Amino acid sequence: MLLLLMIDEVQPGMRLARTIYDPSGRPLLFAGVSLRKQYIDRLRDMGYSGVYVSEGKNDDIEVSSQLREAIKASATLAVQDSMKKMYLLNKTNKALVEEVVRLMVDDILSQPEVVVELIDIKALTDHTFGHSSNVAFLSIAIGKVMGLERSKLIELGIGSLLHDVGKVYVPEDILNKPGKLEPVEMDKVRQHTVEGFESLSRLGSTQITHVAYQHHERLDGSGYPRGLNDKEITVYAKICSVCDVYDAMTSDRPYKKAIHPAEGLLLLKSEQDRFFSKDVVNSLFRVVAPYPIATMVQLSSGEVAVVTDINSVDVERPVVRVIKNSEYSFYDSIRVIDLSKEEDLEIVRTVHWTEVIEFRNRRMRRDLPHI
Ligand SMILES: [Fe+2]
């Protein structure tokens, strides 16, 4: 059975179900390897938030994202290269960035429905670069849902890929500080929007530069650097800001743990209209899978199931395989349910693997005879 587990839930001996790549696209651990404690510790140290593992029998679910993985690695390198050039030579690698964004746009346009599974493995090392390519992918997918044409998707993609380039001027110890930032440090971080805007101005398109400038602005005027309101913020910046926050919430950071996509989506929904554009948040719900394939969930019946397929028309009601009863005992036979066709049944929450282990341990302790 394929499971998507947060890193703290992975147990030694579980088999890796999907190759893990480092931020530059090189394989770190191949699918099929048995995970030893030191591998798990190393992945945790490197900041990986989750992995796909195989547990027990019925290991027949496939997660294919090889092409996207390769494009994402190229995008990550393009951001890395642009930031380096900006720091040393005061210019970006425009040709490389454009080339990579074209690949991203064509990848997304080539698919009838785009459901992005962004909970996948993210490295904390080189965080800004990996984060930027995630944000660009998501922004383009949302732009597509909102009906933007190809040339506009490319502009949006370039702006989103480079939205944080100004961070190259923020000292690393501030960016990676685990604790709360002092006001003076916070000012330095906030300055990345202005630095990004000024550096990108040489690219020509104001639409692109304003993504860097405005992606921390909020509809109610509470954002920075200028406290713009709804009408003053560009559509591209509104899209990028939602994707930026969503990806940040669902990734491990030095100062906080990742939350599950379903929780991230609900949090954004609760802040729509006040901080974020409702249209953009609604579009995000159409492109992100709140319950990615291999996520373990609890149904309203109390049973535990694993997501095996995503319904692109209703991402909140995927196809699931019921594996356990409400007592966390495995069923002998497995039922597959398409939740989009079962109105009486719904997902109530995601289940962590540690809960299953804890429940089993508690039951074993209870069943042990007292001596
Ligand atoms: Fe930013």
Ligand 1 centroid vs 148 CA: distance in angstroms? 23
CATH homologous superfamily of 66-287: Hypothetical protein af1432 (1.10.3210.10)
CA distance 104 to 132: 13
**Domain residue limits, the chain:** 2-54, 66-287, 296-367
Question: Which residues does residue 279 pair with via DSSP β-bridges, in sequence order?
Answer: none
Q: In what helix (H) or strand (E) does residue 333 lie, and over which residues does it extend? A: strand 330-338
Ligand 1 centroid vs 321 CA: distance in angstroms? 39
Ligand 1 centroid vs 30 CA: distance in angstroms? 33
Ligand 1 centroid vs 189 CA: distance in angstroms? 8
Ligand 1 centroid vs 83 CA: distance in angstroms? 14
Ligand 1 centroid vs 154 CA: distance in angstroms? 20
pLDDT of residue 148: 96
**Alpha carbon distances (Å) from 332 to 32, 73, 168, 294, 354:** 25, 41, 55, 19, 22
Ligand 1 centroid vs 184 CA: distance in angstroms? 17
Ligand 1 centroid vs 192 CA: distance in angstroms? 7
Ligand 1 centroid vs 105 CA: distance in angstroms? 22
pLDDT of residue 124: 40
Ligand 1 centroid vs 238 CA: distance in angstroms? 13
pLDDT of residue 356: 66
Burial label, 356 (beta-carbon count in 10 A; 0-12, 13-18, 19+): middle
Ligand 1 centroid vs 181 CA: distance in angstroms? 15
pLDDT of residue 125: 42
Torsion of CA 299, 312, 258, 25, to 10 degrees: 140
pTM passes above 0.75: no
Q: Which residues of the chain have pLDDT under 70?
A: 22-27, 47, 49, 55-74, 77, 84-92, 112-129, 203-204, 253-255, 312, 327-332, 353-354, 356-371
CATH of domain 2-54: 3.90.105.10
Ligand 1 centroid vs 352 CA: distance in angstroms? 31
pLDDT of residue 286: 80
Rg for the chain, CA atoms, rounded: 21
Burial label, 37 (beta-carbon count in 10 A; 0-12, 13-18, 19+): exposed
